Amino acid sequence: MLHLPKLIGHRGVKGLAPENTLASFKKAKELGFSWVEFDVMLTACGEAIVFHDPLLRRTTNGKGRVARKTYAELSKLDAGTWFNSEFVNEPIPTLQQTIQCLAQLGLQANIEIKPTRGTDIATAQKTLEIIHEYWPQQLAKPLISSFSQLSLATVYALDSSLPLAMLYNKLPRDWKKTAEAFNCVSINLNQKYVTLAQITQIKQTGRLVLAYTVNDSQRAELLLDWGVDAVFTDYPLPNFC
Ligand code: G3P
Ligand code: MG
């Protein structure tokens, strides 16, 4: 079973540093987080990078679709200044660079596979290839999650030893079938829609429940009282860290 803290830093610590950058992981560590979540996407040339949106506009000084750019193009972009000039020239990290940073920091991770259209299998394959090559022995195995069943199925077929989590916005009726198919250890749900009944049902199957994204201490306390095991947060919530 996974040993998770109550708070997991979302995209590093998204509220206090530019999301999904090495600066964000370093800040999360500084603030006392022991686990972070981040998103993995593929570039046009098949590199696995840590990035959230399909478009570059919101979190970089670039334009266009991430999936249409090569890593050589993306590596020139500034993914920090949009957040704050303190983070000028902060690059988009590759998954490999991110794992090396986590190893140095001693930070555990939930890796969310975030395929763009039609890349569910390829994104999962590449993520796994990099994990197999670079994941350090001193860290616990990463929790791998995805909204894409096809991505999770791909990971499960290639390496059934990694802990998996199915991600949902709203829990569907057939969640148990999917969870059993990939031997999911956790179901990760949107905190806006999750109910006590759903949490109880999932916990009865021996699985963990994680909820995203909780930026309010009272809400976090309520969800944890309901049985949620950990919440993803953009900030170190008072009374928790
Ligand atoms: O993994 C939890 C959360 O990150 C899922 O949503 O859109 O922030 O990747 P999103
Ligand atoms: Mg995510």
> Could you say which of 8, 10, 120, 144 is catalytic?
10
Please tell me the predicted confidence (pLDDT) of residue 107: 98
Q: How far is residue 31's CA from residue 95's CA, in Å, rounded to a whole number? A: 22
**H or E, element range at 225:** helix 217-226
37 CB less than 6 Å from ligand 1? yes
Q: How far is residue 129's CA from residue 135's CA, in Å, rounded to a whole number? A: 10
Q: How far is residue 106's CA from residue 59's CA, in Å, rounded to a whole number? A: 26
Q: Which residue has the higher pLDDT, 239 or 176?
A: 176
* Residue ranges per structural domain of the chain: 7-233
Alpha helices in 11-136 (DSSP H): 22-30, 71-74, 95-105, 120-134
Pocket test for ligand 1, best of 24, 114, 232, 234 (most atoms within 8 A of CB): 232
3-state secondary structure at position 65: strand
In Å, the largest CA–CA distance within the chain is: 48
Q: What is the CA radius of gyration of the chain?
A: 17
229 CB less than 6 Å from ligand 1? no
Q: How far is residue 39's CA from residue 49's CA, in Å, rounded to a whole number? A: 8
In percent, how much of the chain has pLDDT > 70? 100
212 CB less than 6 Å from ligand 1? yes
Residue 109 CB-density burial (10 A; 0-12 exposed, 13-18 middle, 19+ buried):
buried
CATH of domain 7-233: 3.20.20.190
pLDDT tens, position by position, 192-232: 999 999 999 999 999 999 999 999 999 999 999 999 999 99
Give CA 211 to chain center in angstroms: 12
Q: How far is residue 137's CA from residue 227's CA, in Å, rounded to a whole number? A: 31
Pocket test for ligand 1, best of 24, 37, 152 (most atoms within 8 A of CB): 37
Q: Which residue has the higher pLDDT, 59 or 239?
A: 59
Please tell me the predicted confidence (pLDDT) of residue 239: 76
Which of the residue ranges 15-24, 87-96, 231-240 would you say has the lowest mean pLDDT?
A: 231-240
> Backbone phi, then psi, for 164, in 5-degree steps?
-120, 150
Check whether 241 has a pLDDT greater than 60: no
pLDDT tens, position by position, 178-187: 999 999 999 9
Average pLDDT over residues 14-30: 98
Do the beta carbons of residue 202 and residue 229 sit within 8 Å?
A: no
Shortest CA distance to 4 belongs to which of 182, 165, 215? 165
Closest residue CA from atom 7 of ligand 1: 52
**Separation of 151 CA from ligand 2 center, angstroms?**
14
Q: Angle of helix 22-30 relative to helix 95-105, nearest 10 degrees? A: 20
- Whether the predicted model's global pTM rises above the 0.95 cut: yes
Tokens 């794992």 belong to which residue?
99
87 CB less than 6 Å from ligand 1? no
What integer best gives the mean pLDDT of the chain? 97
Give CA 177 to chain center in angstroms: 23
